[in-house]
Chain A
Amino acid sequence: MRSRRDWNAAPLGQKLAAAAGLVFLHAPVWVIVLYAFTTEDRTYQFPPPGLTLHWFEVAFARQDIWAAMRLSVEVAIAATAIALVLGTLAAFALAKRSFAGKESITLLFVLPIALPGILTGLALLVGIRAVGIEPNFWTIVAGHATFCLVIVYNNVVARLRRMPASWVEASMDLGADGFQTFRYVLLPQIASALLAGGMLAFALSFDEIIVTLFTAGHQQTLPIWFYSELFRPRERPVTNVVAVVVMLVTLVPILLAYYLTKPDEQGPGA
């Protein structure tokens, strides 16, 4: 008889390969963090000859970085706000009901994520030129809101589908009207999904470059600042510091969103 252990214990090679895969996925991030502290400012020499906090100071004093950062945050807030409203409306309409044409509408709601970003970007550029608008703050926001609303929609629709329809019925049977049912039954249920969707949307918008390069004109969001810096490497260490900052700004909301939507956790009201 083959013992159970043969099936449950991984062969050593299998274990090593899996661990190596995980290390491969994470190592580059630690490299960036290390390079933000290097004393070498002209090459990408490894190992770094020495470590310093000097570049954080230099980056902190740079007005162009602050301006780009500010634009990125403003765009992300505006895009997230639009996405939250439109994504939630769509989720409520499509979560449980079925009607003619629902399939194609659902498809439309995944298209902005499914099609290559370059297509979305170029299409928006052609679109705004066709109606005679110069690229401005709101053209960036429009592009971001388009794919952010898909993220919000997905989060909210998943939560609504997990919620028993009987709750809404019970609320209505007990005499609550539409607004009361929304305020006291639906909203508490979807609150954490909204928060999670909003944070993912914020992170996605803050980090977006592929669509933004088309819709931004001459404006510089932080990713665009970063991208153009890659081709004029005047101060590499400052770029490294900004890389670490961008990582943190996108990672924190994503981790929060993860904990808010963890399925095995007792979420609020679940």
Chain B
Amino acid sequence: MLRSVSTFFQRRNAFYVSLLLVPPLLWLGTVYLGSLFTLLSQSFYAIDEFTARVVPTLTLATYRQLVTQPANVDIVVRTLLMAVAVTIACAVIAFPVANYMARYAGSKMKALFYVGVMLPMWFSYLVKVYAWRLILAKQGIVSWAFTSLGLQGALDALLATPVVGGPSLASSYIGMFIVFVYMWLPFMILPLAASLERVPASLLQASADLGARPAQTFRNVVVPLALPGLAAGSIFTFSLTLGDYIIPSVVGAPGYFVGMMVYQQQGTAGNMPLAAAFSVVPIVLIALYLTFARRLGAFDAL
């Protein structure tokens, strides 16, 4: 009986496929997509001014509030600037590592580097953030290192910088920036190394033979060819920074970020429409960024 049933399914391809697909699609369709649409619709709901309750009448008021209130615009701009800064820093730090992996490392060294870069991606997320809180703390390793090198003054000057400084590295934008860069660096190194591996060595030799200095070869040959990898990596660093709310709440200055705003508005503030509208911000920014990255040919390297 079972035999004939299974053979029946095998013969009828479309039926078999739909039988396999129904359970996972049902799950993602209802649990995931259903929730996403409910969330999206909430961002168009109104809030009753007196009772502070959500009323299901459609309005664009929440989005208007998002783009016109200076405090909200500040949060979006602050998050965006951080994401851009983190992306640039990741690219700069990742380049030598990826270049070494792709061009110079022998097969053993290359394997070591690939594992060495991938492993930290899988280390516990919270533990990594917490580790940085220890490292950046007032009496932590960084300030110990500065003091033992006799550079206490330099650290103090850095922390005294308006806006980005703070009472300690663990409660400043500089500290938050360092943690973001650390967390997403592997996501930049791996696609970058993959795209650099595809640059033929003969092109670099040709460039040198034609008289280009190493810096010229780098700027005019290597960077343009690595652009897809850079773009692919930057999609990760950019979107991961936009959506994160743990890092700004554990390490960093008091200013709000988009993710924290979402968490706070749905929780203590109880303004679900505003939380929903804020949660759409990363998607819009990522979509804009993807359009930009597509122009750079980022998707050839994925």
Q: Interface on A for B, CB 8 Å cutoff?
A: 2, 7-10, 14-15, 17-18, 21-22, 24-26, 28-29, 31-32, 35, 43-47, 82, 85-87, 89-90, 92-94, 97, 99, 105, 108-109, 111-112, 115-120, 122-128, 130, 142, 145-146, 149, 153, 172, 177-179, 203, 207, 209-210, 213-214, 223, 226-227, 230, 239-240, 243, 246-247, 250-251, 254, 258
Does A43 lie within 8 Å of B124, measured CB to CB?
Answer: no
Other A-B pairs beyond A46-B144, A116-B283, A177-B3, 19, CB < 8 Å: A22-B116, A25-B117, A29-B131, A32-B131, A87-B24, A92-B20, A108-B29, A111-B32, A115-B283, A118-B243, A122-B262, A122-B279, A126-B272, A127-B34, A145-B27, A153-B24, A179-B2, A209-B126, A210-B245
Interface of A is mostly: helix
B contact residues, total (Cβ < 8 Å): 89
Least CB separation from A142: chain B residue: B31
Does B124 lie within 8 Å of A125, measured CB to CB?
Answer: no
Instruction: Give Cα A14 to B208, complex, Å.
Output: 18
Instruction: Give Cα A225 to B25, complex, Å.
Output: 33
Q: Which of A86, A116, A128, A254 contacts B23 (CB 8 A)?
A: A86
Does B135 lie within 8 Å of A31, measured CB to CB?
Answer: yes
- 25 A-B pairs (CB sep. < 8 Å): A2-B208, A10-B105, A17-B100, A18-B97, A24-B185, A29-B127, A32-B134, A43-B138, A44-B137, A86-B27, A89-B23, A93-B17, A108-B29, A116-B240, A118-B245, A118-B282, A120-B32, A122-B266, A178-B6, A223-B126, A226-B126, A227-B126, A243-B124, A243-B126, A247-B123
Chain A residue numbers with a CB within 8 Å of B99 are 14, 18
Does A15 lie within 8 Å of B100, measured CB to CB?
Answer: yes
User: In angstroms, how far is the closest chain B Cβ from the Cβ of A264?
Assistant: 9
Does B24 lie within 8 Å of A90, measured CB to CB?
Answer: yes
- Does B191 belong to the interface (CB within 8 Å)? no
Binds A, one of B35-43, B59-67, B149-157, B159-167: B35-43
Does A32 lie within 8 Å of B137, measured CB to CB?
Answer: no
Chain A residue numbers with a CB within 8 Å of B120 are 25-26, 29
Does B2 lie within 8 Å of A230, measured CB to CB?
Answer: no
- Does B101 belong to the interface (CB within 8 Å)? yes
Chain B residue numbers with a CB within 8 Å of A105 are 21, 25
Instruction: Give Cα A34 to B185, complex, Å.
Output: 23
Instruction: Give Cα A255 to B61, complex, Å.
Output: 50
Does A44 lie within 8 Å of B279, measured CB to CB?
Answer: no
Bits for B100-119, please: 1 = Cβ < 8 Å to A, else 0. 11011100000001011101
